[in-house]
Amino acid sequence: MKLSIADMRRNYTRDGLLESQAPDDPFALFGTWFSQAVEVESTEPNAMMLASVDAEGQPHLRTLLLKGFDPRGFVFFTNYQSAKGEQLLAHPLAAMTFWWPDLERQVRIEGRVEQVSDEESDVYYHSRPLGSRLGAWTSPQSQVISGREALEQRLAAVEAQYADSAPPRPPYWGGFRVVPQVIEFWQGRPSRLHDRLRYRLDNGQWLRERLAP
């Protein structure tokens, strides 16, 4: 039987999101949802889509892993010389999306981007497995390379260089923080009449608004 993409759909019935269930602080709600995602989702509940834009206005989207959040914003780490790193440094605005299918939930975040402190980047870098720390030195992220063999040769050279010492954090590698201006919580509901609560920062205060699905 031929697959009909147009007929692929899911009716969401798991939960709802009412104003009475939503705290005034969006970070409190995100913390609750994230904890529930950790308990329920089968793979990488901290996975997120990150959108940036280049000098020509072309959007770019990729999947990353969230590595921390608090009232200051949402933190991830990368190579600052990668395509996304250069885009975020030149145009420090970004959008993020978390999708938790088992919970039938989505969170969208929009805001400005800043680099985290060297101290924060150092702490996270040195918490990583050795292979990941060596990988940060090995990969010229987003650059064209001749093949897998070239990458493996670079890794062998890095392993030899740091055979007797711990690799330091590369100066071109560290964290970004997305400082949100908008956080939207989406809960799937039947018949596509989903719940959408948007928190919008206005003069330093979070305003909560319901959006039509």
Given pLDDT bands bounded at 50, 70 and 90, which one contains residue 2? Answer: confident
Residue 69 half-sphere exposure toward CB, CA atoms < 13 A: 21
For the chain, the structural domain boundaries read: 10-121+173-210
Q: Point out the catalytic residue in the list 9, 72, 105, 192.
A: 192
Mapping DSSP onto H, E and C, the string for the chain reads CCCCHHHCCCCCCCCCCCHHHCCCCHHHHHHHHHHHHHHHCCCCCCEEEEEEECCCCCEEEEEEECCEEECCEEEEEEECCCHHHHHHHHCCEEEEEEEEHHHCEEEEEEEEEEECCHHHHHHHHHHCCHHHHHHHHHCCCCCCCCCHHHHHHHHHHHHHHCCCCCCCCCCCEEEEEEEEEEEEEEECCHHHCCEEEEEEEECCEEEEEECCC
Strand pairing class (195-202; 47-53): unpaired
Pick among 1.10.10.10, 2.30.110.10, 2.40.240.10, 3.30.70.1230: CATH of 10-121+173-210: 2.30.110.10
Task: Name the percent of the chain lying above pLDDT 90.
Answer: 92
Residue 62 half-sphere exposure toward CB, CA atoms < 13 A: 13
What is the tens place of the pLDDT at every residue in 72-122?
999 999 999 999 999 999 999 999 999 999 999 999 999 999 999 999 999
Q: What's the average model confidence in pLDDT over 132-150?
A: 96
Given pLDDT bands bounded at 50, 70 and 90, which one contains residue 129? Answer: very high
What is the tens place of the pLDDT at every residue in 29-83?
999 999 999 999 989 999 999 999 999 999 999 999 999 999 999 999 999 999 9
Q: How many other CB atoms are found less than 10 A from the CB of residue 100?
A: 18
Active site residue 192: yes
Residue 49 contacts residue 71 (beta carbons within 8 Å): no
